[in-house]
Amino acid sequence: MKNCSVFAPATVANVGSGFDVLGFALCDIGDVVQVRESSTPGLVIDSIIGADNIPLEPEKNVCTVAAQALLNSLEKKPSNGYSFSITKKVAAGSGLGSSASSSAAAVVALNELLGSPFSRHELIPFAMKGEALASGAEHADNVAPSILGGFTLVQSYEPLRVVKLHYPDDLVATIVHPHIEVKTADSKRILRQSIPLKTAITQWANVGGLVAGLAQEDFELIGHSLQDVVAEPTRSMLIPMYELVKILSKELGALGCSISGSGPSIFMLSDAMNIAQSLAESLKDLYMDNLISCDVYLSKINKMGCQVIQ
């Protein structure tokens, strides 16, 4: 019986002004999902390594929910079943697309076993079913960059239109994940439900500026355009040391800094590895000095997205 293992990268969604529409994929951190054909029909999760709070029941795990959505759309259903082993390297609730990495890896691996009936773009809606289970909304801003790689824009949902954006090769992300729990429900509840027109104008000018800055490799424009005036002002209140991190990132030469997903992770973009490295060191010290444990990651943007590793 055949099997396939896929690495799916963690992702930074929102990317400042691109609230709910932009995302990019990270290198090295992510989940690995192995899918194996089995003679017993149905989907089973055999093991989850690296996390103890993720459900093993197939109807509660994003991997099997996303995989089932893929199987449901096949005209000719396979007679065999599939078993899943999940290795998690992205903590759930970190704001680094933990559920998206699992969903993305599962559908890419299953598609491979089936002889690739779907393109990478076509796999996104199946992975979105996993996101619906995790957060109650079929959003694509994490699964799209995880599956496709690079920097993505979810331009519309009906129909689903995902655009891969050009970006400068030198772009480096520094990410800090302070080990505090931010409940997704809280970070949703705290969002304002309506915003003044002036705020909306600032935000869409910034998204336009960010996409143009990436396309033209204009680092100054990228830096100016990362500012999020919609979600950050309220969501940042849930993240300890947020203002200090912002000041530090400016002092050390980052292009800009904002919340990754709905937090508590914070990302910074830089145009040089040495800046990203000194940011990483200073962030570790800042959180350690304030007795908050954290993980710090340094990553170029992952061009490949999901990768079949076996």
131 is catalytic: yes
Give residue for tokens 């304002």: 192
* Segment lying near ligand ADP (by CB under 6 A), choices 59-67, 74-82, 156-164, 171-179: 59-67
Residues 257, 270 contacting (CB under 8 angstroms)? no
In one letter, which amino acid is 177? H
Looking at the Cβ atoms of 63 and 280, the one nearer to ligand ADP is 63
* Segment lying near ligand ADP (by CB under 6 A), choices 61-69, 72-80, 237-245, 284-292: 61-69
Residue 146 within binding range of ligand ADP, rule CB under 6 A? no
Residue 61 within binding range of ligand ADP, rule CB under 6 A? yes
* Segment lying near ligand ADP (by CB under 6 A), choices 58-66, 163-171, 271-279, 288-296: 58-66
Distance CA 252, CA 140 (A): 33
Distance CA 250, CA 9 (A): 27
The residues in 150-189 that bind ligand ADP, with binding defined as CB under 6 A, are 184
Give residue for tokens 């009906």: 158
232 is catalytic: no
Residue 209 within binding range of ligand ADP, rule CB under 6 A? no
Which residue of the set 64, 87, 131, 174 is catalytic?
Answer: 131
Task: Classify the C-alpha dihedral 24-25-31-32 as positive or negative.
Answer: positive
The residues in 238-277 that bind ligand ADP, with binding defined as CB under 6 A, are 261
Residue 310's CB is within 10 A of a number of other CB atoms, namely: 10
Instruction: Single out the residue of 12, 25, 62, 127 in contact with ligand ADP (rule: CB under 6 A).
Output: 62
* In the complex, least distance from residue 196 CB atom to ligand ADP, rounded to whole angstroms: 28
Which residue of the set 37, 122, 138, 184 is catalytic?
Answer: 184
Per-residue buried b or exposed e for 224-245, using 16+ beta carbons within 10 Å of the residue's own CB: bbbbbbbbbeebbebbebbeeb
Site string for ligand ADP, 73-112 (x = CB under 6 A): -------------x-----xxxxxxxxx-x----------
Distance CA 129, CA 100 (A): 10
Instruction: Single out the residue of 63, 143, 153, 176 in contact with ligand ADP (rule: CB under 6 A).
Output: 63
Residue 38's CB is within 10 A of a number of other CB atoms, namely: 16
Task: Classify the C-alpha dihedral 104-149-96-261 as positive or negative.
Answer: negative
Contacting positions for ligand ADP (CB under 6 A): 54-55, 61-63, 86, 92-100, 102, 134-135, 184, 261
